[in-house]
Amino acid sequence: MSKTYNVAIAGATGAVGQEMIRTLEKRAFPVAELRLLASSRSAGRFMTFRGESIPVGVLDHDSFEGIDFALFSAGGSRSLEYAPAAVRAGAIVIDNSSAYRMDPAVPLVVPEVNPEDVTDHDGIIANPNCTTIIMLVALQPLHQLSPIRRIIVSTYQSASGAGAQAMEELQNQTEEVLQNQAVTKSAFPHQIAFNLFSHNSTIDDSGYCEEERKMVYETRKILHDDTIRVCPTTVRVPVLRAHSEAIVIEQDRKISVEEARAVLAKAPGVVVVDDPVANHFPMPVEVTGTDDVAVGRIRDDLSHENGLALFACGDQLLKGAALNAVQIAELLVAS
């Protein structure tokens, strides 16, 4: 009989938590018991898993007895408070927040990129930022062909990156604008409907915001190379739930467009969408609800002899969060 595991989801009622539940079911993860945890506001709700109605309990320090894997998507402060309790109870924590990502003792894992790091942990494994995941799934096959020395990336980030309330705000604002009503702002500092703005995270003295700094330092940690230069610009756009990225890379040697397209077509977690004749390239509406990162617009960088440009798009709630976490759990089960 195959082994089964007790799994807890902290933050089960949020947008990512709900996708974790669906992803565990879709991928037939060997769950014996699923324990759903959230704040006291959500306690008592019921959610469905494999046709069974499961009550949502309150996340506290005693929530993890008997749990094998604890998937956290409850925010950084809650991860810092409750993840150590889960580890003490014997669970392996897979954390979707930024709380542990840059901790030297915590591996930061994208299964298609650095699966070997998954076993080198002390009870906690970190999920990278969604923009970093999508970018590195697209770039890892090219990095293996020839080391990448520099990345210039501009992101077009969906409302889902700020949670379910932000997605609802985009929908509500769209209706308000179309009906010539005053726009109501809550989740975002600026109007998101029919607009775009620089990512709404803290900007430090370097001029880069927190989201951009994550891409720099997480990329170096995942690829185990502190010499890689990364220059990101992160932008919020009026899209519900898929992030897009325009990426330019500089490599040790020149990689042809044909060589790049061929290796990407065979890469795990990647689907090539690159049809210049039909002007058909990766789009949020086509990757929403799908697992793979779509890559297209593969072309020479006209400004550098060893440069290559491409466009990537991935579902922020899935590969950018929930799916990556479940894939990490699958690696642990396999190992």
Catalytic: 243?
A: yes
Q: Are strands 69-72 and 92-95 parallel, antiparallel or unpaired?
A: parallel
The predicted model gives 149-154 an average pLDDT of 98
User: 116 with 187, same domain?
Assistant: no
Residue 75 confidence (pLDDT) above 70: yes
Give the per-residue pLDDT at 74.
87
Query: Per-residue pLDDT tens for 272-301?
Result: 999 999 999 999 999 999 999 999 999 999
Give the per-residue pLDDT at 1.
46
- Which residue out of 130, 143, 209, 313 is catalytically annotated? 130
Catalytic: 130?
A: yes
Query: Per-residue pLDDT tens for 158-216?
Result: 999 998 899 999 999 999 999 999 999 999 999 999 999 999 899 999 999 999 999 99
Count up the domains in the chain and report the number.
Answer: 2
119 within 8 A of 88, measured Cβ to Cβ = no
User: 122 with 80, same domain?
Assistant: yes
Residue-by-residue DSSP string for 112-148: TT-GGGGGS-SSEEEPPPHHHHHHHHHHHHHHHHS-E
Average pLDDT, the chain: 96
Residue 335's pLDDT band, with cuts at 50, 70 and 90, is confident
User: 152 with 275, same domain?
Assistant: yes
Residue whose C-alpha is closest to residue 293's, from 279, 273, 313? 313
247 within 8 A of 225, measured Cβ to Cβ = no
Instruction: Assign 3-class secondary structure to 168-212.
Output: HHHHHHHHHHHCCCCCCCCCCCCCCCCCCEECCCCECCCCCEHHH
The predicted model gives 109-131 an average pLDDT of 97
- Of residues 42 and 229, more confidence is placed in 229
User: 108 with 143, same domain?
Assistant: no
242: CATH: 3.30.360.10
User: 121 with 185, same domain?
Assistant: no
Query: Per-residue pLDDT tens for 153-165?
Result: 999 999 999 988 9
User: 10 with 142, same domain?
Assistant: no
User: 226 with 329, same domain?
Assistant: no
Distance between CA 198 and CA 146 in Å, rounded?
A: 32
Q: What pairs with residue 292 in β-bridges? A: none
Residue 42's pLDDT band, with cuts at 50, 70 and 90, is confident
Query: Per-residue pLDDT tens for 89-116?
Result: 999 999 999 999 999 999 999 999 999 9
User: 88 with 146, same domain?
Assistant: no
Distance between CA 260 and CA 8 in Å, rounded?
A: 40
Which helix (H) or strand (E) is 218 found in, with range? helix 210-223
Residue 43 confidence (pLDDT) above 90: no
Residue whose C-alpha is closest to residue 111's, from 79, 141, 133, 129? 133
* Structural domain boundaries enclosing 103: 5-128+321-334
Give the per-residue pLDDT at 302.
96
Give the per-residue pLDDT at 317.
96
- Which residue out of 121, 143, 199, 243 is catalytically annotated? 243
User: 120 with 148, same domain?
Assistant: no
Residue 44's pLDDT band, with cuts at 50, 70 and 90, is confident
Count the residues in the chain. Answer: 335
61: CATH: 3.40.50.720
The predicted model gives 136-163 an average pLDDT of 97
44: Cβ–Cβ under 8 A, 6 or more apart, which residues? 55, 56
Give the count of beta carbons closer than 10 Å to the beta carbon of residue 206: 9
Tokens found for residue 135: 């970018």
User: 160 with 266, same domain?
Assistant: yes
Residue 6's pLDDT band, with cuts at 50, 70 and 90, is very high
User: 168 with 102, same domain?
Assistant: no
User: 79 with 124, same domain?
Assistant: yes
